[in-house]
Each structure stands twice: as C-alpha cells, then as structure tokens.
Amino acid sequence: MNQPISERVRWTTADLELFPDNGNRYEIIDGELFVTRALHWNHQKVCVRILASLDIWSQTTGLGEVVTAPGIIFGDNDNVIPDVVWASNERLPLLLDEAGHLTGAPELVIEVLSAGIENEKRDRELKLKLYSARGVREYWIVDWRNQQVEVYRREKASLKLVTTLFNSDELNSPILPDFTCAIAFLFT
C-alpha cells in the first residue's frame, strides 16, 4: 500500500491576519512561516544606532527615509519584517500601499542577527536570496556579538558580499552619497 505524499503547508499573507498580536514577529519566506520572539536588548540598541545615523544623514541630504521594522509584502508567499530599511524619495511612493506597507524592494535593507542557528540561517541565506531576487540594491548583515557588518551589493542580478567591516572601520555606500558611520559607534 502506498503512503500518501504529504504536501508542506504554504503560508500566505492572509494567514498572518489570523495570528495574535502577542509581541512575536511573524514572517513568511517562500510560503514558510518564521516566528521570532522578543529581541535582545543589544540587538535593538544596534538597530537604533543604525537608524539614528541614517536618519541624520537622510534629513541632512533630503534623499530618502529610514524606518525600523517595516513590513515588506513582496507577494502572498513572501512577507518579511527587516530590522531597518532605507528608501529614496523617488522610490518610496512607488513601494507603499494604502496600509503603509512596502510592496517592493527598498534600496537598502539591514538585518541585525538574532541569537540561534535558525535565525542566522534565515538572515544569511533565505533573506539574502529573497532580497537578491526582489531587487534590493544593498543588504547589510550586522552581527552585534562579533561586532562586524557584512555588506552585500547588487552585482548584475544578485547581491554579493563586497566587504566585512570591523570595529576600526567606517561604513559607507555608493547609494548613500557622503554617508559614513564608524562601526565602533554601532556597538558602544
């Protein structure tokens, strides 16, 4: 007798409406559900430092806006909440839906690593592939435990690691003219 082949459950954006508002972060990548609990203090502190640096630069230049934990609804099977994003003033109106969610790729996405092998794998592999496929121009993976930042930039059709920055380095980007941030500032 043949055993039936079970299909994996594919979660959708509509399913997210069914979950309680309990402080957990629910994300869907390629139909797979990921749940993250409340984040470590140092994780959040790094997010604030990145936000502050990008916000001061954005307000000074008037080139775009930065926010923390926005929803990005790429489609029914891909709905994520990155830690920080920056979008240019030209691109932002094209990305926002009426509910205030992004529906496409901002220029810059930043993920600060959370504890756990599965969380790191999600940011380093699944989200890297998703952001690459959806057109993000630059992706920063911030590791507050090791005090380093990996910078991925779009080369042709995908995001490629171009540098890993450490405590004595400065962060800058070709998509953010004249922006600089001391890596040490992020972790103090």
Express each pLDDT in 55-114 by its tens digit: 999 999 999 999 998 889 999 899 999 999 999 999 999 999 998 899 999 999 999 998
| Residue 174 token pair | 């070709």
- Give 143-159 pLDDT, tens digit per residue: 999 999 999 999 999 99
pLDDT at 164: 98
pTM for the model stands at: 0.86
Has residue 116 got a pLDDT over 80?
yes
- Give 9-21 pLDDT, tens digit per residue: 888 888 877 777 7
Of 115 and 62, more confident: 62
Q: Which segments of 34-153 does DSSP mark as H helices, in order? A: 41-61, 92-95, 117-121, 127-134
Of 37 and 174, more confident: 174
pLDDT at 134: 97
pLDDT at 48: 96
Whole-number CA gyration radius for the chain? 17
Cβ atoms of 152 and 141 closer than 8 Å:
yes
